[in-house]
Amino acid sequence: MTLITEQNHSWVNGSPWQSQRQLTVHNPTNEEPIATVSIADNEAAAQALNAAQTCFDTLKQRPAQQRAEVLMRWYQLILDNEAVLAELMTKEQGKPLREAKAEVKYAAGFVQWFAEEARRAYGEVIPSHSSSHQLTTIKQPVGVVLGITPWNFPLAMITRKVAPAYAAGCPFILKPSEETPLSAIALVKLALQAGFEDGAFQVLVTDDAEALVAPLLASPVVRKLTFTGSTLVGKKLLAHSADTVKRASMELGGNAPFIVFSSADVEEAVAGLMVAKFRNGGQTCVAANRVFVHQDRQEAFTDALIEAVDKLVVGDGLESDTDIGPLINAKAKDKAQHLIEDALAQGAQRVYQGAAGAGHFMAPTILLDVTEKMDIYHQEIFAPVVSMIVFDDEQGVIRQANAVHEGLAAYFYSQDVSQIHRVAMALEYGMVGINEGAISNPVAPFGGVKQSGLGREGAKEGLQEFLETKYLCQKFLE
Ligand code: SIN
């Protein structure tokens, strides 16, 4: 099957959606058009809702074993198409091919995990309050789900939501990012090939998210919203879901501290930061956003970091030696440049700036002496820019690390066992990397506290987000 051609479609009820209006997808490396996609209008959304509602009746009756088998086939098809999916991702998103291949495996990993978890949606028998009653709980699918996914991980952010929904028995309507709809379309084609029912996974591509999403959020048919994106948009979506009291999972923005304590192994800490900061060119919600370095280690750490960053090659993701591709669009680059300029104007020092071509490419940059007054301290940088702060005491740095609205990921490097325990307990974050910069994994619960979100994805928790608990109180017959 050809996954993507020059002209592609939104997918409604197992069929391509025909429309006069087309969205053109561009390659962020050179801004050249790659392909077009038919835009889903409100009629498409209404038909998708009907198809999902009808499908729910079938899906919820289907034994978990069968849903697991369909997911296993989807998993295998994704892996079988690794080369095509990775190249497509690099073309529409810009990330280096090596990272795109890793993402295909990461995305497939969620499908495999939830294929296995599909058969483990256990209820409970509750020790009863009376000898004449049996109290049990059973797990049932939430119902029709609306998912809204970002461009930074065009495959994995979709499978992380669709696979647990299907495992639980929930039909899924997806609005992918308009920057990267092609990966979503490739995924839906593979899902249908694997045996997904027509209404079980539908993809609505649009360039006007608000107009498409508003009626879906207003509909009582949609019982659950799952979103990955900015905190600002997440708050609006939550407000719009309030009227129909939808279940919601929110993977929102981060502002990750990365703390290098005086006992840290500097070489390890630099290696960890290279992943935590530069994966996907810094365009991840879990990217190290504020790098706190103990004053005793600052010189050694900065020198080693500059040496490592200086080796990074910025360029076309399709070239084999590329480490960092372009930023997703001009707006992203303008924002990162503003953050650097604001920091420099307020006293930060630029201790390193690499090389990058024109267009959306951004030179890796290291800033020292960043302070809380600067925008870069508070906003997600989403670019290959390291923002460093020097500290001298543990309590102070924990206070600083926690004194933000976000609470997604945090990292720290220390070889002091007591300190590791204290700091791990004290950080107000949903995920903490301890002497480790790569924490994401399908088997682990991904998610944040405070304004970084609601709920968890992946792991056993990920399935529960799509299940309701029903309590049964049964009085024995005389
Ligand atoms: C994200 O940036 O939203 C996800 C990153 C990950 O899964 O590691």
- Residue in 384, 361, 378 with CA at minimum distance from that of residue 280: 384
Nearest ligand 1 atom to alpha carbon 156? 7
Is 65 buried (19+), middle (13-18) or exposed (0-12) by CB count in 10 A? exposed
Confidence (pLDDT) at 116: 98
- How much is the average pLDDT of 320-336? 97
**Which CATH number characterizes residue 272's domain?**
3.40.309.10
Name the region of 130 (left: φ>0; alpha: ψ -120 to 50; beta: rest).
Answer: beta
Confidence of residue 1 (pLDDT cuts 50, 70, 90): confident
Which pLDDT score is estimated for 247?
98
- Are both 380 and 286 inside the same structural domain? yes
Average per-residue pLDDT in the chain? 98
Task: Round to whole Å and give the CA distance between 397 and 400.
Answer: 5
pLDDT digits (tens, 9 = 90+) for 270-293: 999 999 999 999 999 999 999 999
For residue 446, tell me if it sits in a domain: no
**Residue 11 is encoded by which pair of tokens?**
């997918």
Asked if residue 456 and residue 381 are part of one domain, the reply reads no
- How many C-beta neighbours within 10 Å does residue 355 have? 12
pLDDT at 471: 98
Contact 106, 446 (CB under 8 A): no
| 240 lies in the same domain as 355 | no
Q: Which two tokens stand for residue 38?
A: 């038919």
184 and 310 together in one domain: no
For a mutational test of ligand 1's pocket, the pick from 155, 446, 456, i.e. the residue with the most ligand atoms closer than 8 A to its C-beta, is 446
pLDDT by residue (tens digit) across 33-64?
Answer: 999 999 999 999 999 999 999 999 999 999 99
In CATH, what number is assigned to the domain containing residue 221?
3.40.605.10
**Ligand 1 mean position to 140 CA, how many Å?**
28
- Same domain (yes/no): 193, 263: no
Q: Could you tell me the pTM of the whole model?
A: 0.97
457 and 408 together in one domain: no
Enzyme catalytic residues: 251
**What is the per-residue DSSP string for 302-315?**
HHHHHHHHTT--BS
Over residues 291-308, the pLDDT tens digits come to 999 999 999 999 999 999
Element (H, E) at 82: helix 82-93
Whether residue 100 is predicted with pLDDT greater than 90 in this model: the reply is yes
Q: Which residues line ligand 1 (CB under 6 A)?
A: 152-153, 156, 228, 251, 284-286, 440, 446
- Cα 275 to ligand 1 centroid, rounded to whole Å: 12
How far apart, in Å, are the Cα atoms of 182 and each of 32, 111, 175? Answer: 15, 19, 12
DSSP 14-78: TEEPP-S-EEEEE-TTT--EEEEEEPP-HHHHHHHHHHHHHHHHHHHHS-HHHHHHHHHHHHHHH
Residue 147: give the domain boundaries: 3-252+452-472
Compute the average pLDDT of residues 336-352: 98
- Neighbouring C-beta atoms of residue 30, cutoff 10 Å: 11
- Whose tokens are 């198409």? That residue is 81
Q: Which of 177, 133, 234 is nearest to 472 (CA)?
A: 133
Q: Are residues 149 and 192 in the same domain?
A: yes
User: For atom 5 of ligand 1, which residue has the closest CA?
Assistant: 284
User: Is residue 72 packed enough to be buried (19+ CB in 10 Å), middle (13-18) or exposed (0-12)?
Assistant: middle
* Mean predicted confidence (pLDDT) in 99-107: 98
Total domains present in the chain:
2
Residue 445 Cα to ligand 1 midpoint, Å, equals 12
Residues 131-187 have pLDDT tens digits of: 999 999 999 999 999 999 999 999 999 999 999 999 999 999 999 999 999 999 999
Q: For a ligand 1 pocket test, name from 110, 153, 452 the mutation site with the most ligand atoms within 8 angstroms of its C-beta.
A: 153
**One domain, residues 265 and 226:** no
* Residue 5 in tokens: 């051609």
